[in-house]
Every structure is written in C-alpha cells, then in structure tokens.
Structure 1
Amino acid sequence: NAQELHKTLGERDPEMARRLRPSDPQRVIRALEVLDATGCSLAEWQNEPGKPVLPAEQALRFFVSPPREALYARIDRRFDSMLERGALEEVRALAEQDIDPGLPVMRALGVKPLMQMLSGNMTRDDAIRRTKTDTRRYAKRQLTWAKRNMIAWKEVLVKDSESIMDKIFAIIDV
C-alpha cells in the first residue's frame, strides 16, 4: 500500500521521502525505481544543475498557446472523437477488471464520469459535460503554470499550427 511504499522510500532515500507525500504512490514508486536502476537518489538527479544547449542570452523561447475559446472547442471535439472511437468500451473494460482506483489509469480524465454513467449514477450527457469541464480545468491549470513559470518566454497565441511560424518570425523581426 502507499504508506508502506513511502516508509520503504524513507528507509532507502530519506531526502526523497521528505519531498514526496505518502498519498502520491506514483511518484514514490518512480523514486524507488530510479534508486534501484541507478543507485542514485532522484533528489541527487534533481539537484544537479541542468546543462543548457545554448547560453540563455542566445536562446529565444516561445510558449505557444491557443485562444481559450479555440482550446475549449478542440477539447470538446477531441472528447467527442474519443467516444466515437471506443473510449466508453475501454472504460467498461477497466470497470470489469476491478482495478485499484488509486492507479494512474483510473485517474485519467473522463474515466470516473464514464464509470458513473456505466453504473447508472450519471446520465450520458452529464458524464460528457463533466469530462469536458474537467479537461478544460486541467488545460487552464497547465496554462496558468506555464505563464507563471515561463515568464521570460514569449507567448504566441495561435488558433492553428499553420500560423505559428509566421507569428514567431514576426516577433523575431521586431
């Protein structure tokens, strides 16, 4: 169980055990895997300074993001396509296997609402709406993280990939 895994990590790699929550078995397992495979703590790897390919002053960094309404429309189309291509059948197969709900596959966006729908606890429309809303919130968190952590990067707003290069070259030429 997660507590035992965290305890094992604490015995073998106290630094990583301090950094990770016992309730995060995915990262705890990864830390143990790195330790077993390399003999080094993941903390050591993370503390090593990165080696940039280019000096920072020579690099131009771009963060490409779509306008919110375009992003949300793509999220909706993508989930509709996933349903057409068998997502519900995949979730049904997961439900039949009685998999531990704490595993990453069971936390994937859409799995929980579709399982609730299959068990009769949610309508199809509500499951679809819930999944699209959850996916939008996830995308928003990713964009918020990027804008907070990629401050020196130039943001390029594009509706589609065709216009990315034109927008980037316009920024470079300024």
Structure 2
Amino acid sequence: MSIPSSTAPVAFIAAQNVAKGVGVQPPESRLAVIPLHQIDPGRHLLIAGPTASGKSALALAVARRQGGLIVNADALQVWSCWRVLTARPSPADEAAVPHALYGHVAPGTAYSVGDWLREVAGLLDRRLIVVGGTGLYLTALTQGLAHVPPVPPAIRAEGDARLAAEGGLARMAAALDPATRARIDTRNPARVQRAWEVLTATGRGLADWQADTPPPLIGPEDGQRILVTADRDWLADRIARRFDAMMRQGALDEARAMLPFWDPARQWARAIGAPELVAHLRGEIDLPTATERAIIATRQYAKAQRIWFRGRMRDWRPVQADAKSTAPD
C-alpha cells in the first residue's frame, strides 16, 4: 500500500471530527500532529483515548491516507439506537472510508467484550484501525481475554439479592477465593459480584480462569498503539461544547424514541446522557438541569477512562490532543 507522502503529517483536530455530518464536534484551533511516516500502513493501528478527545478524527485521517478498516472499540457506539448521543461516525464518514461494528447491535440484545472480540477476529484479514475509549475492549484485544463460562440467570439474581442486603458487599468479598480477592478492587460492587458469581457458578475462582487467558488477537508485534491524552480542563470544556452540539443535532429526539422501551438496567441504556434526558422527558427535571447533569456524567466517564488508561495501558504511545498549534480555526 503506497503512502502519498512519507513526510506528510497526519493532523487531527481534537475538537472536530473532520467530516462528521451530524456536526457534534465544535471547531477548535489546537491540533495534535503525528508524522505519517511514523505510522506503518502494513500493521494494525490501535487508537485509544477519553471521550471527546478526537480519536475518531485521527482514525479517519489515517484511513483516508493509508487505507484500512476503522473498527469501533466503544461499547456505547455498538447500539443501533444511539448515533448523535454517542457521537458515532456520521453517514458521510462511513461513506468516505470503511467502518465496522458501529450501531450494529439492536437494543435488548446481550452483547459482551467476548462478542466484540469474536467479531474483531473475523476482520483480521484486513488492516484494522481500531478506535475507541472502552478500556476493557482494548486491553482484551491486546492482552487476551479469559474464556469464563456464562453465569446462569439464577445465580446472577442471587448475586443481585446478596449485594443489595446490608453488608452484602463485604460478605461477598470475604467469600471469594484468596487469589481473586487479592487481585480485584473489593470496594467495587460490580467487580466483587462478578467474581462471586463466577466462583459460585463454576467452583473455580476468577483469577484461576484468568490464568488460562489465551494470546491476544493483536499483540505488540502486530499493532501500533496510540493513546490520545488531554488536559483535564481542556477536555471538560470540549465535553460541554460537544454536548450542546448534540442537543442541537437531535440527542433529545433519540432519547424520546427510546422512551417507550426505557429500562435503566439494559446495556443500551448506559449511554452517557441518556438517563438525564429520559428524566427530563418524564417531567422529573427541566432541560437545563438534564443538560448540566449529562455533561457532569460525561466528565466523570472521561475521568474513569483516564484512570483505566493510566493503570493498564502504560505501554501505549501518548499523543497530546490539546497541543498548541498556529493552525487557523
């Protein structure tokens, strides 16, 4: 595959997703520049970063110049019911270069990181540009994922009941095998319940299952890893402006369309901002309050992403999204 110019830079606008037809990305004059010759077109490219940091713009720029299939690694962008609210690539972007695993899962369908990995495995005959902010997806892709058997619904229901009981979290943590208990955050209810369910269902601790993790689909020798980073205040401002743009472009209409089916326990209902917009549509809060709470929730989500990246993706190459540039607006 030929490169148009071995020294031409790939610049991505951290606050504008190049050709996003829905216009959810506000203009910005700061650029992060990566020399194109530093990106090998013969190897997969993995791009991670917090929400609103400009990952999709970089992926699109590279795909236009080098070719490749852009593959979604955002657990919220898989749902068919959300395009604007999750800042999925626009139809124009998808027409410009090939995209995969965006908006392909119907609400109500169970979908896991294991499902995502299996779908990615079926695409490996092409050069992939994997882009997203779901740390679990990206670490599973590059470090492997243990094949833990599914937990029966009855055990999951029992886990829910135990956790909800007074002192349930501490009792569930105490019931874990020592190796698993030492490895997980015992203050995290979801992690503790998951480990308890696996142990109860299989008689084998989660740490033991994880010890049998198969090789990753894309190891260090197969893919280049870029981690988009940004100043917290810069990103917070961008998140606020982007959500305002989402509201102008139909985010509330998306929430209204899903209102008859709303169930906060469903995976698709975890889209950032959706609970707040639904609360407004139900008359529980006014629209300015819903917008403010959605922006706060997005900032909290970005913080959680950064914590994951710092803790588990230290070997990824950092690229600063808010680097100063003299480029015009």
TM-score bin (small chain): 0.5 to 0.7
Which has the larger helix fraction? Answer: 1
| Offset, 1:105 | 2.1
1:37 is matched with none
2:247 is matched with 83
CA distance in 2, matches of 1:48, 1:107: 29
Structure 2 counterpart of 1:157, from 296, 313, 320: 320
Structure 1 counterpart of 2:216, from 50, 60, 80: 50
2:185 is matched with none
Counterparts in 2 of 1:65-84, with a 5 A limit?
Answer: 65-84=229-248
2:273 is matched with 110
CA distance in 1, matches of 2:305, 2:284: 30
Structure 1 pair 62–91 and aligned structure 2 pair: CA distance change class (3 A)? closer
Say whether 1:137 aligns with 2:300.
yes
Say whether 1:100 aligns with 2:263.
yes
CA distance in 2, matches of 1:98, 1:154: 41
1:168 is matched with none
Structure 1 pair 16–81 and aligned structure 2 pair: CA distance change class (3 A)? same
| Offset, 1:17 | 2.9
CA distance in 2, matches of 1:162, 1:140: 25
Structure with the larger RCO, 1 or 2 (CA within 8 Å, 6+ apart): 2
Unaligned runs of at least 5 residues, structure 1: 1-12, 29-42, 164-174
Three-state SS of the structure 2 residue aligned to 1:120 is coil
| Offset, 1:62 | 4.2
Three-state SS of the structure 2 residue aligned to 1:63 is strand
Say whether 1:17 aligns with 2:162.
no
Report Cα offsets for 1:112-168 as digits up to 9, x if no partner: 1111111221121110110000000001100110011122334333316979xxxxx
TM-score, normalising length: structure 1? 0.59
* RMSD value, Cα: 3.5
CA distance in 2, matches of 1:114, 1:49: 41
Off by >6 Å, runs of 4+ in structure 1: none
CA distance in 1, matches of 2:313, 2:148: 31
Structure 1 pair 147–91 and aligned structure 2 pair: CA distance change class (3 A)? same
Three-state SS of the structure 2 residue aligned to 1:106 is helix
Three-state SS of the structure 2 residue aligned to 1:64 is strand
TM-score, normalising length: structure 2? 0.33
Give 1:72's aligned amino acid.
Answer: A
Structure 1 pair 67–48 and aligned structure 2 pair: CA distance change class (3 A)? same
Three-state SS of the structure 1 residue aligned to 2:151 is helix
CA distance in 1, matches of 2:243, 2:303: 16
Unaligned runs of at least 5 residues, structure 2: 1-146, 161-189, 195-208
Structure 1 pair 92–62 and aligned structure 2 pair: CA distance change class (3 A)? closer
Which has the larger strand fraction? Answer: 2
Give 1:54's aligned amino acid.
Answer: E
- Say how many residue pairs are matched: 127
Give 1:106's aligned amino acid.
Answer: A
Counterparts in 2 of 1:29-40, with a 5 A limit?
Answer: none
